[in-house]
Chain A
């Protein structure tokens, strides 16, 4: 007899529905599985057979064929165990197709019949809802993640026996047996930041630069000697970024779900991610990779902060990977079994020393020659530098400053200003693809950032006196626009421009 059970499979950070088809017919006893299956999916055969036996169901000797469609897509992971088991049960006549109508089933099986958690539940449930599935049967440990999606019934199951009993139950009795999971309470996932900007005394200019960068989602570079608090500031930037919208939050959570990084205590990601890769990181770990690609760090930092400390110490190839995502806000990865696109819309916060020893231009401490300094700075290629809108110098911190008692502004105060600036940007860009000033293309700068006669004259003077190159121009206008937004001003004024010009790079 033939049966068909709906399940899902991850594809990039999205997912597709997949179908487990089972046929049970007479002939030489065998158990065949087809559909471009990887090793762990093929092994499902043994897990399912034993799990069924231990649940008290013997598979009679006959010819069993399982096909997972679409057959042209590589299948990975152990999430097909449960749908295969249910498919076999229907073929054997223990259950009927009616029992699994409009139902998506997913889960890994233990030999004792226990249902274990799997990766990528969130994108699969999101997809199921779009496709009109009414009920999702998930491993118990994944229910919180699944229940983020509203208006779809989420049933968490502990073992195979319970699953069979649940499916065999009449529709009315089901809710009594396992009540559908209630929507994941939002406050459960509200993570608290461990850090706050009030921990940092002094460094007013660096903090101001961080505020501007956060408000306009500008990439930012901090240059300063060792121990000047660059890392401290970077860690606190997520605390002043505007909150994730629900849509963004689902997007980020989907990426983490695919990467297998969601669990019960953190089912929905509501705070902006902060990732801090060490400079020895491999290209694949940063970009994403594997024969079937998995998201890399730049995708895990989506809608959040990617902090790259000691920027020139990163391998050149690793840094160059950032070029495409910094431009397109996503990364295309082609590997042996699949090619896919992961979102990578992150805010790059980079930090570096001014020279190999770290103390340039303090000639009393710095022993590097000009050539050394130049070579060090030139490790970061032009295309990467071009995409960094703000550069700020972090000074060496005096001991006296560290012991100063007065507390400075807290993150929540700064965030309030950032949120205000963000709202102005959302209003301005309504109906376009833009969300932040930093995203403006050079063509649209004229449209959204008109300048008056006085402002244009100032810019001309600035370019002449300071000998700036043309590519600084667009950065200058975008940063001025953000400063104007923080200031609550509709127009960019000379004040905004003259502040913005201080954030150019002069190394």
Chain B
């Protein structure tokens, strides 16, 4: 545990005043230090506290003192293995310093990011298509493999997939939650939650035991973009909550990129709209690395399709040409082949698909075959 004495009081003030960010800073500045601010609370009878933060909040703080003392809170954090830092400390992320409405402090489980490492936020909607899933894995995994940190919200869909892929690629990833860091939300991401703690950190501006609430999530979105140099939207429709993160990113001066989708795909309308509005277009991890000038981290990359095709049998080659990133059933594939004037028997197609799968050029998933190495 890295908590010094000042931190204990700052942490206590932070948790006690909950969402009143401006007043926390006001109180701390007026008092001079966290410890002095705390003594104001203890001696609330003097009226100083009330004059600074108003009657309601000072009542709240005195009330909070009855529930838990700074030492009690410190023990609780230690027991739950939760770290804390606030804006006057040196380990407070520098990326927060220059953003409007920066958090007073943050709670975290795991280890905070090295300030010198570039980081990228990979975000998107909770409901995603197989295409979105694939792109999230490719881009997030590709960046993480080159030592770039991946930041996201550990939500269902794109967020979780991107973070999982980053860990699988051996990289580090940071999940910013809209609830206390001791809350696993969504519960189905439990496995991922523990993996992130081991390979990065779970971060939240809210005190432990804060339950997930709808209105907290847009606020945590500003931390996701703040922690990153670049924000990539993988897949989102026009109404997606992802856009609150994009708005924050623009406000904070972060680069925004989007993965293009087909015009007819409902799940890609948001991304395509972003592109029209001038967001950067990203098709692979390499694109980001080139654009951001992180070339020293770049491995020579080739398009894989020609290399893949060289080893395939003729039917497999023909099928490879009709496969798509959207899953197709085997009968769809036969129909597409027929349209191209190529007629294969069913068992031939089955065998060729098995060959493609073994070459990892295709994948049978969700009841259909899709292209793996475009």
Contact = CB atoms under 8 A, between A and B. Distances in A.
B355 to A, nearest CB: 7
A498 B351 CA distance: 5
Given A363-B266, A370-B157, A393-B367, A204 B346 contact: yes
Contacts of B347: 208, 483, 495, 499
Interface in A355-408: 360-364, 369-371, 373, 392-395, 398, 401
B346 A506 contact: no
Given A499-B354, A506-B367, A369 B127 contact: yes
A502 B327 contact: no
Contacts of B357: 465-466, 501
Contacts of B128: 363
Interface string B332-347: 1011000000000011
A363 B365 CA distance: 14
Contact of A502 (B265, B326, B364): B364
B187 to A, nearest CB: 11
Contacts of A370: 127, 156-157
B295 to A, nearest CB: 33
What size tier do the contact residues of chain A reach?
35 or more
A223 interface: yes
Given A202-B331, A204-B346, A465 B360 contact: yes
Given A360-B366, A506-B367, A462 B354 contact: yes
A461 B357 CA distance: 10
Interface in B248-304: 264-267
A251 to B, nearest CB: 34
A202 B330 CA distance: 11
Nearest to B186: A371
A204 B334 CA distance: 8
Given A362-B326, A363-B265, A501-B354, A205 B331 contact: yes
A270 to B, nearest CB: 31
A246 B328 CA distance: 44
A206 interface: yes
A363 B349 contact: no
A465 B357 CA distance: 8
Interface in B96-137: 126-131
B349 A205 contact: yes
B1 interface: no
Nearest to A494: B351
A304 interface: no
Contacts of A395: 328-329, 331-332, 335
A506 B353 CA distance: 14
A203 interface: yes
B350 interface: yes
B10 to A, nearest CB: 39
Which interface residue of B329, B331, B346, B358 has the most chain A CB atoms within 10 A? B331
Which interface residue of B156, B346, B347, B349 has the most chain A CB atoms within 10 A? B347
Given A208-B346, A361-B130, A498 B265 contact: no
A495 B326 CA distance: 27
A499 B130 CA distance: 24
A120 interface: no
A507 B327 CA distance: 12
A268 to B, nearest CB: 36
A497 B353 CA distance: 12
B46 interface: no
Given A369-B127, A370-B156, A371-B188, A498 B354 contact: yes
A354 interface: yes
A506 B360 CA distance: 16
Nearest to A506: B364
A20 B199 CA distance: 84
B330 A205 contact: yes
Contacts of A361: 129-130, 326-327, 366-368
Interface string A453-486: 0000000011001100000000000000001000
A364 to B, nearest CB: 5
B5 to A, nearest CB: 46
Contact of A401 (B265, B330, B335): B335
A361 B132 CA distance: 12
Nearest to B351: A498
Contacts of A205: 329-331, 334, 346, 349-350
Contacts of A502: 330, 350, 353-354, 364
Contact of B266 (A354, A364, A393, A466): A364
Contacts of A466: 357, 364
Contacts of A207: 346
A280 B332 CA distance: 33
Given A204-B331, A206-B331, A499-B354, A363 B346 contact: no
B365 A499 contact: no
A69 to B, nearest CB: 60
B342 to A, nearest CB: 14
A491 B304 CA distance: 37
Nearest to A500: B350
A81 B289 CA distance: 93
Contacts of A506: 364-367
Given A465-B357, A502-B364, A369 B267 contact: no
B351 A499 contact: yes
Contacts of A499: 347, 350-351, 354
Contacts of B130: 361, 363
Contacts of A223: 367
A207 B128 CA distance: 32
A462 B128 CA distance: 28
Contact of B351 (A401, A462, A495): A495
Contacts of B353: 502
A80 B253 CA distance: 95
Which interface residue of B266, B351, B360 has the most chain A CB atoms within 10 A? B351
A221 B360 CA distance: 26
A373 B327 CA distance: 15
A354 B327 CA distance: 13
Contacts of B355: 498
B367 A507 contact: yes
Nearest to B132: A363
Contacts of B332: 395
A466 B368 CA distance: 14
A218 to B, nearest CB: 16
A362 B368 CA distance: 10
Contacts of B188: 371
The 9 A-B pairs with the shortest beta carbon distances in the complex, nearest first, are A498-B354, A363-B129, A499-B350, A205-B330, A393-B329, A395-B329, A208-B346, A361-B366, A393-B367
15 contacts: A204-B346, A205-B346, A205-B350, A208-B347, A223-B367, A360-B366, A363-B130, A371-B156, A393-B368, A394-B331, A466-B357, A495-B351, A497-B354, A498-B354, A502-B364
Given A363-B326, A502-B350, 16 more contacts: A202-B331, A202-B335, A205-B329, A205-B350, A354-B366, A361-B129, A364-B267, A371-B156, A392-B330, A393-B367, A395-B332, A465-B358, A495-B347, A502-B330, A504-B364, A506-B364
